[in-house]
Chains A and B, each alone.
Chain A
Amino acid sequence: MTKLFTRPRSMSDVPSPYCPGCTHGTAHRLVAEAVDELGLFEKVIGVVSPGCSVRSWRLYRFDMVLAAHGRPPAVATGIKRALPGKMVFSYQGDGDSCAIGLSELMHAALRCEKITVFTINNAVYGSTGGQAAPTTLIGQVTPSYPLGRDPSHAGYPIKLAEVIADISKDSYVARVALNNVRNILRAKDAVIRAFKTQQEGLGFSFVEMLSVCPTGWHMTPLDSLTWVDEAMIKQYPLGEFSMPHESKSDLGASEQRVKKLTVQAETVEEPTHTHG
């Protein structure tokens, strides 16, 4: 029997700390799968920070550092400069990276620091009760924008991936979504490309992941997944916004691989199978 799905070596066997329906767990898994597939377990150091993912160091089995709110890109810089042969990533929420830590992120990107930053964009502050983030959509109701985000006094949502692509010359920058299988598979490709960008010493790498927060949004998990398609992706288009020299996009590669595997699995089930 072909085992198609198992826990990645990089992930711990601990209960998820996240609410039902949250896609943080999916994002963690993608990072862990990429670390495994690229053989990085022994040389990777992850940095997490306050927000829903503050305790996510438990979910991984490799070296982890807990940093102050918004500061992971600076902390990751300090690790990478000290250990240039190692792989350093940060995993941050959108409050962490777009609000309190925007400066640290922008300057790491400007320096083309050879680190990888993953940002979960769920348009709210999940861990403190769903308050507005810089990524909150126009009109979106949150406890801190009870009448909805009004751009006349709250400004407009930040398109982080586009901003970073604009300022970081040697970088890989992508925005992906975690709301359906196809998007998750493309997200995986982006995570791998981001790590490869660092591994090959090409520059800064950044993946913004559109994620859901059913608790903060007061929606069912299913409605949340739909809202990503109907509202979030309209504001935050998916795709790759910057590609380092010598690299070419492989978004969609995983999808092709899975399709192939599925075909193979179906073929194997045939009692009188032939190789072909």
Chain B
Amino acid sequence: MGEKVLLSGNEALAEAAIRAGCRFFYGYPITPQGEILEHMARRLPEVGGVFLQSESEVSAINMVYGTAAAGKRVMTASSGPGISLMQEGISFLAAAFLPCVIVNVMRSGPGLGRVRPSQADYLQATKGGGHGDYRVVVLAPASVQEMADLTVEAFTIADRYRNPAMILCDGILGQMMEGVDLPSPTHLGSLPPKPWATTGAENRPRNLVLAAPLTDDELIALNEELGNKYRNVQEREPKWEAQLLDDAELVIVAFGSSARIATDAVLKAREDGMKVGLVRPITLWPFPTEAFDDLRERVKHYLVVEMNNGQMIEDVRLAAPADAQVRHFGKGGGWVPSSQDVYDEILRMCRKGSL
């Protein structure tokens, strides 16, 4: 590991990207991701990189497309409304098999919304977002350390599958400061080669980066290839954290900030004798269905804690046993639960006597 420093989540993420070998950042100012853009503006010129403030998020994601086509590690960051504007570009990146990292520091919507923390973009991030049959690998950090570590992981996964990867977090994770072990800087020469990149046809046959094939049959073949790739991702990449599941009768499922808050509630409930555990999906797509395999026979009660009106609950319902009770605890619009709120909800469920 590198060094331990005190950083905000946004700064840790940005610095980790540079250490992962990202030398190109294109972005448009939007709260609450501002520190990422500003850190990149300050640091990238120091390491011989390029920071460019674009005229819109539409332009930013297309600059990402160009730099990814040129074979370089590249990132952009935004929040809800900006990520919506990028969806066309993300679809094109997926169609053209281009790797990149996109950060969504979520705010509450819909529409302009407000900048308070929220998990309102879960469905947009995990179910496609743009047009066409594609997926984006979505990683959900729950600490400043993970803001750094999962960013490095996102670049690795993006290159491995030649597909966009997304960091889905919120203003709590972006703004809060914690000690973080920054990853060691990557030597640019050690990055995976990209022989497919359009860098000029010198001493090789020409390369093409096409977001559309020529014929109907080729498009069917391309979709097949995407399908196979995504099945491969689903087999190899699901990640989650499990806590206190051995004898659990009620399992809390939460990601990111709400998982952080729910963890405190689970620990307190345990102290008070309630048999509660926690599953925290780290990859939101692929959703870690495997986390629920061992629970299938014995856990019939699930509580999904989300800062939205109920989005991840759909994936939990698919992963949990068919006869399980899966309940949602959450609200949209910038509501943040306290650990006491989550504890009280756990208590209510336990008192009902159904456990």
Contacts and interface: CB of A to CB of B under 8 A. Distances in A.
Interface residues of B, number: 40
A83 B207 CA distance: 15
A44 interface: yes
B199 A86 contact: yes
B200 A83 contact: yes
A66 B70 CA distance: 13
A78 B62 contact: yes
Interface string B194-221: 0000111111001111111010000000
A104 B210 contact: no
A11 to B, nearest CB: 12
Interface size grouping (class) on chain A? 20 to 34
A47 B24 CA distance: 20
Contact of B199 (A45, A67, A74, A76): A45
A28 interface: no
Main secondary structure of the interface of A (DSSP, over half): helix
Contacts of A107: 54-55, 59
A166 B206 CA distance: 37
B67 A63 contact: no
B24 A82 contact: yes
B95 to A, nearest CB: 9
Contact of B201 (A41, A55, A83, A104): A41
Interface string A54-88: 11011001111111100100111111111100110
A75 B54 contact: no
Nearest to B210: A66
B350 interface: no
Nearest to B88: A68
Contacts of B72: 82
B211 A79 contact: no
Given A41-B201, A62-B200, A63-B198, A79 B69 contact: yes
A64 B67 contact: no
A81 B67 contact: yes
Contacts, number: 130
Contacts of B253: none
Contacts of A42: 200-203
B50 interface: yes
Given A54-B212, A55-B214, A79-B67, A64 B59 contact: no
A74 B28 CA distance: 13
A43 interface: yes
A78 B89 contact: no
Contacts of B202: 42-43
A62 B212 CA distance: 18
A79 B65 CA distance: 8
Contacts of B89: 68, 71
Contacts of B63: 74-75, 77-78, 81
A103 interface: yes
Given A74-B59, A78-B26, A104-B62, A66 B198 contact: no
Given A58-B214, A78-B64, A78-B67, A64 B50 contact: no
B26 to A, nearest CB: 7
B193 to A, nearest CB: 15
Nearest to B202: A42
B55 to A, nearest CB: 4
Most B-side CB within 10 Å, residue of A61, A62, A68: A68
B128 interface: no
Contact of A64 (B26, B74, B199, B206): B206
Interface in A215-265: none
A87 B199 CA distance: 10
Nearest to B72: A82
B252 to A, nearest CB: 41
A54 to B, nearest CB: 7
A65 B26 CA distance: 19
B124 interface: no
29 contacts: A43-B200, A57-B210, A63-B199, A63-B201, A63-B206, A64-B209, A65-B96, A65-B210, A66-B210, A66-B212, A67-B92, A71-B59, A74-B65, A75-B66, A75-B69, A77-B66, A78-B74, A79-B66, A79-B67, A79-B69, A81-B50, A81-B52, A81-B63, A81-B67, A82-B70, A103-B56, A103-B59, A104-B59, A107-B54
Interface of A: 41-45, 47, 54-55, 57-58, 61-68, 71, 74-83, 86-87, 103-104, 107
